[in-house]
Amino acid sequence: MVQRQLPNPVELLELMKFKKPELNGRKRRLESALTIGDLRAIAKRRTPKAAFDYTDGGAEGELSLARARQAFEDIEFHPDVLRPAENVDMSCDILGGPSALPFGIAPTGFTRLMQTEGETAGASAAAAAGIPFTLSTLGTSSIETVKAANPHGRNWFQLYVMRQREISYELARRAGEAGFDTLMFTVDTPVAGARLRDKRNGFSIPPQLTVGTIVNAIPRPWWWYDFLTTPKLEFASLSDTGGTVGDLLNAAMDPTISYDDLAVIRSIWPGKIVIKGVQNVEDSKRLVDSGVDGIILSNHGGRQLDRAPIPFRLLPHVVREVGKDATIMVDTGIMNGADIVASVALGAKFTLIGRAYLYGLMAGGRQGVDRAIEILRSEIERTMKLLGVSALGELEPRHVTQLTRLVPAGAPAIDLASVPRN
C-alpha cells in the first residue's frame, strides 16, 4: 500500500520556483534555439520568403544539397570508453594562424538581404569567437568595413574571377592591403546554377515590391523596417546591382577561367591561397602540384551543379592522395557540431559554415550569429567528450564509419586506415 499524507506547504514552496521571464524578445527566442534547425525555423518565420529561400535553397531539384546533409546523418561514431576527456581543446592552427574552433564562416553573397547587419554581424561574431570570417566578392559590406568589424582577427577573402579581370585583381590587392591573410579562389561557378526557388519567387537584387512580396511582408514588418531605414542594399565591390541572381552571376562570371588565371592571382596575392569548389581527386592533385596552400571540397552548398559529388564522401579519398601536401577543408551540408567532428576525424583540417551562420543572422542579427557559433561549439565539445577525445589531433578515421546509401557502381571500398592522421 502507498502511504498517503497531506501535502507539506514547505515542500510545495520548494517546487514553486518559477524562472524569471525574459522580457527581451530577441534574447528569449535565441535562448529557445537548441540546434541550428531551431534557428532555421525562427529565421523562416521572421524573413520574407524570397530572402529565406535564397539562403535555404539549392539548384534545380536540390539533390546535391539533400545528399550532402544525408551524408552527415549517415555516419556512425565509435567512442573509446574509460578515456577521460574532462577538458577538451577545440583549437587548431589553420593556414598559418590560430582558430579557437575547427570551423570558420564561409563566404556568402547578398548577406545584408537576409538581415540588415549582414557581414558586420558575421565578422564581429567571428572575432569574438576567435574564428576566421570570409568576405564574398558578392558581399554587401566592403573589405574595409569587414576589417573594421574584425580588426584583430582572421579575415579571408573569397574571389570570383570575372569577365573584367582587372576588377577581380583590384579586389585581391585591396584585401591584401587591408590585412586579409587568405584568398579563397572559387572555381565552381563558370555560369550560374539554376536556382529554381529564386526564379519562382521572382527574386532580384535589390528586392522588388510586388503584390506577392507585400502580402508576404505583412506578418514580417520588422524586416521591411530594417530594409527601408538602413543604407541601400547593394554590392560593396561591384557597380552593377540590378537583375536576378542568375543574371548577375552570368554577367560577372567567366566560363573561360583557367590555370593561367590562378597563376596571375598567385602573383598578386601575398598570403595563403586556397581553391574552393574542388570536386574530384584528379583536380586536387593538379592544384597541389600548382602550389596552392589548400583545397576546399565543396559543391557550392548544392547551389551550382545539381547531382554534384558529396564533399564529405569525397573527403577521405582526397586526404589519402594529397592530405600530406596541402590543407584539406570541407563545406556543404554542415548543420551540427558532430558533422564537424566527423570531418576532422576523416582528415579535414578545417570546415566552413554558410547556411548555419545565415540562419542565426536571420533569427537575431549579431546575437543570432553568436548563438549559432555557440550551438556548434557545444555540440563539438560534447561529441568529443563522448568519443573520449581531448584534442582535435586525437580524432582518427577509426572514430567514424560512413554508412552507405548511394554507392557508385563498381566503386572500390576505401581503406580508412590509409587516410593520414591529423
Residue 276 host element (H or E)? strand 272-278
Q: Which long-range CB contacts under 8 A does 254-259 form with residues at least 24 apart?
A: 254/161, 254/162, 254/163, 254/190, 255/190, 255/191, 256/190, 257/161, 257/187, 257/190, 259/286, 259/290
The C-alpha atoms of residue 376 and residue 106 are separated, in whole angstroms, by 15
State the Cα–Cα distance between residues 260 and 152, nearest whole angstrom: 33
Place of cell 539533390: 63
Pairing of the two strands 327-330 and 75-77: unpaired
Residues carrying an active site annotation: 300
Phi, psi values for residue 210, rounded to 5°: -130, 175
Bridge pairing between strands 272-278 and 92-94: unpaired
Kindly report the number of other CB atoms within 10 A of residue 250's CB atom: 17
In this structure, what C-alpha cell is assigned to residue 59? Answer: 539548384
Backbone angles phi, psi at 401, to 5 degrees: -115, 125
Separation in Å, CA 400 to CA 344, 351, 353, 392:
10, 17, 21, 14
Tell me the C-alpha distance between 218 and 280, whole Å: 46
